[in-house]
Amino acid sequence: MIERMQVGLFIPCYIDQFYPQVGLATVEVLERQGVEVDFPAAQTCCGQPLANTGCLEDARPLARNFFNIFQKYEYVVCPSGSCTAMVRHHYEQFFPGDHDFEEFSHRVFELCEFLTDVLHVERIDGKFPHRVGLHQSCHGLRELRLAKSSELVAESFNKAQKLLGSLEGIEFSELTRSDECCGFGGTFAVAEEAVSCMMGRDRIFDHERAGTQVLTALDMSCLMHLDGLLRRDKKTMRVMHVAEILAGREV
Amino acid sequence: MPTPHAVRAARFVADSDRAHWHDQALWFVRVKRDRMAQSLPEWEALRETAAGIKAHTLSRLGDFLEQFEERAIALGARVHWARDAAEHNAIVLSILESHDVKKVVKSKSMLTEECHLNPFLERHEIEVVDTDLGERIVQLAGEPPSHIVLPAIHKKKEDVGEIFHRFLKTEAGASDPKYLTEAARQHLREKFLASDAGITGVNFAVAETGGFVVCTNEGNADLGVSLPKLHIACMGIEKLIPRAADLGVFLRLLARSATGQPITTYSSHFHGPAAGGELHIVLVDNGRSKILESEEFRRSLNCIRCGACMNTCPVYRRSGGHSYDATVPGPIGSILGPARDAKKYAGLPHACSLCGSCTDVCPVKIDLHYQLLTWRGEIGRRGLLPWSKTIPMKLLAFVLKRPWLYALAGRIARRVLPLVPRWLLYNRLNDWGRQRELPQIPKHSFREIYERRQRQSQ
């Protein structure tokens, strides 16, 4: 028997608490690719809210815990570009000169990039006959480089869109601002509530104009903010995490 | 407690039509920039080269400054060194007084804004007229610029009509840009002709030649220093580049990034004084060598003041330049501000969703959003975070460090929250809920469901 690849599942705290269906979809997507998934229950949060507020000393023990919990896995996979970027791009300050951590950080992946770059998945079986608006969550886009950002002059690519695009019947919305921030921004969403909500509504307006039926993203946090606005404004547009669509969930 | 920026931003956003107009006006510039950048296949290589030249220059800035001084003097210029804004202003005043100058025309210079030169000279009974159209508009309105390239971008043409009606006696209610521009032109012509001295900024100073370049779209720098005999050029010490050949890299990047033009209409090169005239160059530090010492923030001195980070910033576009209350607003201003006065500008690094668009748009590859994040940590380290941020974060950390407490707190919250009446849940202190619904609370967390699933499969 061939030994199956085992990955440590890193579920962001807010997905654990508010969006368990996204975590389950992630497990299913990975298992269907023949991967053995393990969720270590000692995990809580990567510490990004603390670090982004400037409370680095409060974040430090969480980074330590994270490393201790996940170090043993061959790969760590997370259904969030932002939380993955926190570990891969911003943890280094907590582990200066630590080669074990340096090596480990390259084994932490966002779900879609794990599928395309590690498992070399070319297509996902299934169908999704809807017009989908893919929101480019910023940290996945500009820190993990999961797609080409609109500012750069380079060849176009988009890892999530490539996977989604293999689903039967899916259509994508054409936006006027292809990758503008939705305004979530962690504590920014409440600290700069007025600007944050204006940014969110502007994104929604762009998607409405483009005919988006289902708004999706690599980060549930962006979608939590956008969904909050959609529901308050009584709009019919639905939000779904990319993992849910890839797992074959119905709208 | 909201930061001063958040308070001012909320005020700006409250006028939804104007905020959207402001956002669209700047996005239009961003789109023009994209078109220009995309037309150069070597764009990323240019950015890389520019960043490399800047890093090299900053690594031996002292040597290059001395070289520049020596060459500039050889060309007949007089070079002055100013440690800070006060010294800069005193130097400019003494030059003007020694020539008995009463009227000065000035082309755009963020440095003189930073040093608050205008009010200083006015206190000494010297008239200073900003000759850049946008700068003249805000000068007449008695406001600081709200953008470093487009100083009056927050003014609609109707606003300009009102200001000109008041000060230039144009027709009441006029808003035709052509008519208003012509009025400004006539008004500025008189000022140019009557001036005793011209002050300019400097976009690039070249160490190997001792010359410098001023970029304008209106030709006002040329006019301002061609008529009077006295030219004073004020520059921050970071404006230096080593060779004339490097100019090609920066001039190609600057206008494309700033306004989406292939090049500014006028790139005026100055090498020594005009025949029969005098040229003074004032080299200003004003905190720059302090930034140079810092490993983390040194790269912010790469800035060529193109304003692209402002045009692309989703927060700046929706909050307006004045919401930053700093000479340089937007992403780069939120780095330079705290470097100048960490306490006063402690809130600025938080006026940012960390989207990183500024980092990708910057023509000299300043890692802007990383620096903003680094500043947040630095502000925390210096104890400048308000308790309204530190206490909740301490509590959060206490819970997150204990997986059992985290799981328990979640379980309790999921039980209790659905029982809380809406009016209580969406209370005045709930900033999330003012315009947004909270997430719908599920019965079970992922970890609870996963655990059950694992048990069943065994």
Q: What is the pLDDT of residues A20-69, one digit of tens each?
A: 999 999 999 999 999 999 999 999 999 999 999 999 999 999 999 999 99
A81/A166 same-domain check: no
Which of A118, A149, A181 is where one domain is finished? Answer: A118
CB B334 within 8 A of CB B352: yes
- Looking at residue B305, which CATH number applies to its domain? 1.10.1060.10
- H helix intervals, chain A: 13-18, 20-32, 48-53, 56-70, 81-90, 99-105, 111-113, 138, 159-165, 188-191, 193-209, 220-232, 242-246
Report A:123-182 residues touching B (Cβ under 8 A).
Answer: 138-139, 141-143, 149-154, 177, 179-181
Tens digits of residue pLDDT in B309-334: 999 999 999 999 999 999 999 999 99
Residues on chain A touching B315 (C-beta within 8 angstroms): 192, 195, 199
Tens digits of residue pLDDT in A111-134: 999 999 999 999 999 999 999 999
Tens digits of residue pLDDT in A176-192: 999 999 999 999 999 99
User: Do the Cβ atoms of A194 and B352 come within 8 Å?
Assistant: no
pLDDT of residue A4: 79
Choose from A11, A24, A53, A224 for mutation: most chain B CBs within 10 A.
A53
User: Do the Cβ atoms of B406 and A45 come within 8 Å?
Assistant: yes
Count of structural domains within chain B: 3
A136/A227 same-domain check: yes
Which of B381, B413, B447 is where one domain is finished? Answer: B381
With 80 as the cut, is the pLDDT of residue A224 above it?
Answer: yes
Q: How far B221 CA lies from chain A's nearest CA (Å)? A: 31
B353/B424 same-domain check: no
Q: Give the Å distances, CA to CA, from B267 to A59, B117, B245, B255, B411.
A: 49, 24, 15, 10, 65
Which residues, listed in sequence order, are joined to residue B241 by a DSSP beta bridge? B206
DSSP letter at B171 equals: P
**End-to-end Cα separation, chain A, in angstroms:** 38
Tens digits of residue pLDDT in B21-56: 999 999 999 999 999 999 999 999 999 999 999 999
CB B281 within 8 A of CB B272: no
A124 part of a folded domain: no
Which among A58, A138, A187 is the nearest to B394, CB-wise? A58
Count of structural domains within chain A: 2
Please state, rounded to an integer, the average pLDDT across all residues of chain B.
97
B361/B221 same-domain check: no
A180/A240 same-domain check: yes
B38/B61 same-domain check: yes
**Can you tell me the distance from the alpha carbon of A104 to that of B339, in angstroms, rounded to the nearest whole number?**
34
Tokens of A76: 């760590």
A153/A100 same-domain check: no
In the chain, the amino acid numbered B50 is A
Which of B325, B350, B381 is where one domain is finished? Answer: B381
Q: Return the half-sphere exposure (C-beta side, CA atoms, 13 A cut-off) of residue B413.
A: 17
A112/A145 same-domain check: no
B284/B312 same-domain check: no
A98 part of a folded domain: yes
**End-to-end Cα separation, chain B, in angstroms:** 51
User: Do the Cβ atoms of B6 and A191 come within 8 Å?
Assistant: yes
Domain of residue A237 covers: 131-246
Residues on chain A touching B44 (C-beta within 8 angstroms): 152-154
Q: Which of A88, A154, A157 is nearest to A116 (CA)?
A: A157
pLDDT of residue A189: 98
pLDDT of residue A5: 85
Dihedral of CA atoms A113, A116, A121, A125 in degrees, nearest 10, equals 60
Which of B231, B264, B290 is where one domain is finished? Answer: B290
B396 part of a folded domain: no
User: Do the Cβ atoms of A192 and B6 come within 8 Å?
Assistant: yes
Strands B266-270 and B127-130: unpaired
Tokens of B391: 């206490």
- Looking at residue B234, which CATH number applies to its domain? 3.40.50.10420
Which among A15, A93, A189 is the nearest to B432, CB-wise? A189
A55/A149 same-domain check: no
Size of interface A-B (CB pairs under 8 A): 227
B311/B286 same-domain check: no
A59/A137 same-domain check: no
Q: Put the strands of the sheet holding A131-135 in their side by side order.
A: A171-172, A131-135, A214-217, A238-241
A1 part of a folded domain: no
Q: Return the half-sphere exposure (C-beta side, CA atoms, 13 A cut-off) of residue B162.
A: 6
A27 touching B (Cβ < 8 Å): yes
A190/A95 same-domain check: no
pLDDT of residue B1: 79
Q: Which of A195, A112, A251 is nearest to B20 (CA)?
A: A195
pLDDT band at B380 (very low <50, low <70, confident <90, very high): very high
Residues on chain A touching B27 (C-beta within 8 angstroms): 177
User: Do the Cβ atoms of B354 and A39 come within 8 Å?
Assistant: no
CB B348 within 8 A of CB B337: yes
Mean pLDDT score, A210-223: 98
**Can you tell me the distance from the alpha carbon of A212 to that of B384, in angstroms, rounded to the nearest whole number?**
43
Choose from A14, A139, A192 for mutation: most chain B CBs within 10 A.
A192
B238/B116 same-domain check: yes
B452/B377 same-domain check: no
Which of A67, A90, A118 is where one domain is finished? Answer: A118
Report A:38-97 residues touching B (Cβ under 8 A).
Answer: 39, 41-45, 47, 49-59, 61-62, 65, 90, 93
- Looking at residue A40, which CATH number applies to its domain? 3.40.50
Domain of residue B305 covers: 4-9+298-381
B36 part of a folded domain: yes
User: Do the Cβ atoms of B37 and A18 come within 8 Å?
Assistant: no
Exposed/middle/buried for residue B24 (C-beta within 10 Å: 0-12, 13-18, 19+):
exposed
- H helix intervals, A78-219: 81-90, 99-105, 111-113, 138, 159-165, 188-191, 193-209
Report B:402-441 residues touching A (Cβ under 8 A).
Answer: 402-403, 406, 410, 413-414, 431-432, 434-441
Which among B377, B400, B441 is the nearest to A44, CB-wise? B400
With 60 as the cut, is the pLDDT of residue A1 above it?
Answer: no
Mean pLDDT score, B397-413: 96
User: Do the Cβ atoms of A185 and B352 come within 8 Å?
Assistant: yes
DSSP, residue by residue, B376-416? HHHHHHTT-S-HHHHHHHHHHHHHHT-HHHHHHHHHHHHHH
B262/B173 same-domain check: yes
pLDDT band at A209 (very low <50, low <70, confident <90, very high): very high
CB A29 within 8 A of CB A247: yes
With 80 as the cut, is the pLDDT of residue A158 above it?
Answer: yes
- The distance from CA B210 to its chain's CA centroid, rounded to whole angstroms, is 27
With 80 as the cut, is the pLDDT of residue B430 above it?
Answer: yes
A113/A136 same-domain check: no
A112/A137 same-domain check: no
Tens digits of residue pLDDT in B137-166: 999 999 999 999 999 999 999 999 999 999
A38/A82 same-domain check: yes
B157/B255 same-domain check: yes
Tokens of B152: 């009056």
Tens digits of residue pLDDT in B275-310: 999 999 999 999 999 999 999 999 999 999 999 999
B140/B262 same-domain check: yes
Choose from A21, A146, A151, A182 for mutation: most chain B CBs within 10 A.
A151
A85 part of a folded domain: yes
Q: Kindly report whether the global pTM for this prediction surpasses the value 0.95.
A: yes
pLDDT of residue A2: 58
With 80 as the cut, is the pLDDT of residue B86 above it?
Answer: yes
Mean pLDDT score, B332-345: 97
Q: Which of A55, A188, A90 is nearest to B380 (CA)?
A: A55
Residues on chain B touching A189 (C-beta within 8 angstroms): 432
A160/A106 same-domain check: no
B341 part of a folded domain: yes
- Give the whole-number percent of chain B exceeding pLDDT 90: 98
B368/B410 same-domain check: no
With 70 as the cut, is the pLDDT of residue B133 above it?
Answer: yes
pLDDT of residue B447: 97
